[in-house]
C-alpha cells in the first residue's frame, strides 16, 4: 500500500532528530579532548616564539606532559590592562572573555623565568590579513628591544602565497630584528620584494616579503606594530626600572 506524504514527512523528521542527537552527543563527548588540543596548540606556539624546539628530527611534536613541565618550570602569565599597561591581579587568559581578547581590552603576557629573573617576554599578536584573521605570538629578549621569535599558527590566507607566513623560513627572518632603538619604538616592516633591494644600506627592522602576498604582508605590518605599541605601555615601565 502506497504511503502518503504525511508518512514521508514523519519519517524524514525522525531521521533528522536522530541524526541531530547523534551529532550533538558526539560533539559533547569530543569537546573536552578538543579543548585540550586547543590548549596544547596555544602552549606549543608560545614555546616556539620563545625559541624552544617543539619538534624532534622526525617532525613529532613535543608531548603535552613535556610542554606542561616547561611551562611549570619557566613560564608565568600576567594580564595587562590595555589602557594603562598595568598588571591586572588574578585572571589568566583562559578566564578572559572572548570579547576582552578580541577587542584587546585585556592583554595576556607570558614571562620566561630563569630562577627569579625574567629573561624573555612573549605576547599574542593578531589582526586581518587578506582573507582572514591571522593569529600568532611574538617574543622579545630581556632587553625588550630584540625579537627572539615569531610564530603565525592560525589563518586562512591563500595556500602557496599568503599562507607562507606559517613557514619556518619566513618566521626565522624576524629573529634578531630590533623593535626599540635609541629610546623609541621602530616599526617592523614586511617589505614588498626584498630588504636588500628596498634598503641597500641594510635594515634592522625589516624582513623580505612573500611574492604575490603583498596584502597579507601589509596586514602583518599593521597589526604587529599596533600590538607592539599596546604592550609597550608595560615595557616602558620595565625599561625605566619600575
The pLDDT assigned to 103 comes to 77
pLDDT at 40: 84
Cell numbers for 17: 532528530
Burial 162-180 (b: 16+ CB within 10 A, else e): bbbbbeeebbebbeebbbb
**What are the 10-residue block averages of pLDDT along the chain, 242 residues in total?**
64 78 68 68 92 84 90 92 88 72 86 92 95 95 95 92 94 95 91 93 93 94 95 90 66
19: CB partners within 8 A, 6+ apart:
none
Query: What pLDDT score does 116 carry?
Result: 86
Amino acid at each position: 500500500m502506497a504511503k502518503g506524504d504525511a508518512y514521508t514527512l514523519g519519517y524524514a523528521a525522525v531521521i533528522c532528530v536522530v541524526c541531530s542527537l547523534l551529532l550533538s552527543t558526539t560533539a559533547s563527548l569530543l569537546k573536552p579532548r578538543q579543548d585540550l588540543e586547543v590548549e596544547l596548540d596555544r602552549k606549543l606556539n608560545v614555546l616556539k616564539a620563545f625559541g624552544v624546539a617543539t619538534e624532534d628530527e622526525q617532525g613529532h611534536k613535543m608531548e603535552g606532559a613535556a610542554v606542561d613541565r616547561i611551562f611549570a618550570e619557566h613560564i608565568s602569565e600576567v594580564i595587562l590592562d590595555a589602557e594603562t599597561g598595568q598588571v591586572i591581579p588574578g585572571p589568566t587568559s583562559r578566564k578572559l572573555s572572548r570579547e576582552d581578547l578580541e577587542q584587546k581590552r585585556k592583554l595576556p603576557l607570558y614571562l620566561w623565568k630563569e630562577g627569579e629573573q625574567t629573561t624573555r617576554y612573549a605576547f599574542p599578536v593578531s589582526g586581518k590579513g587578506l582573507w582572514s584573521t591571522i593569529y600568532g605570538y611574538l617574543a622579545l629578549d630581556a632587553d625588550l628591544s630584540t625579537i627572539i621569535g615569531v610564530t603565525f599558527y592560525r589563518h586562512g590566507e591563500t595556500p602557496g602565497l599568503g599562507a607562507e607566513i606559517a613557514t619556518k623560513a619566513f618566521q626565522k627572518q624576524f629573529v634578531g630584528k630590533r623593535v626599540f632603538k635609541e629610546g623609541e619604538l621602530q616599526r617592523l616592516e614586511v617589505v614588498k620584494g626584498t630588504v636588500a633591494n628596498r634598503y641597500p644600506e641594510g635594515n634592522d627592522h625589516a624582513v623580505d616579503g612573500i611574492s604575490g602576498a603583498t596584502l597579507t604582508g601589509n596586514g602583518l605590518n599593521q597589526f604587529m606594530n599596533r600590538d607592539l605599541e599596546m604592550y609597550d605601555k608595560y615595557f616602558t615601565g620595565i625599561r625605566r626600572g619600575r
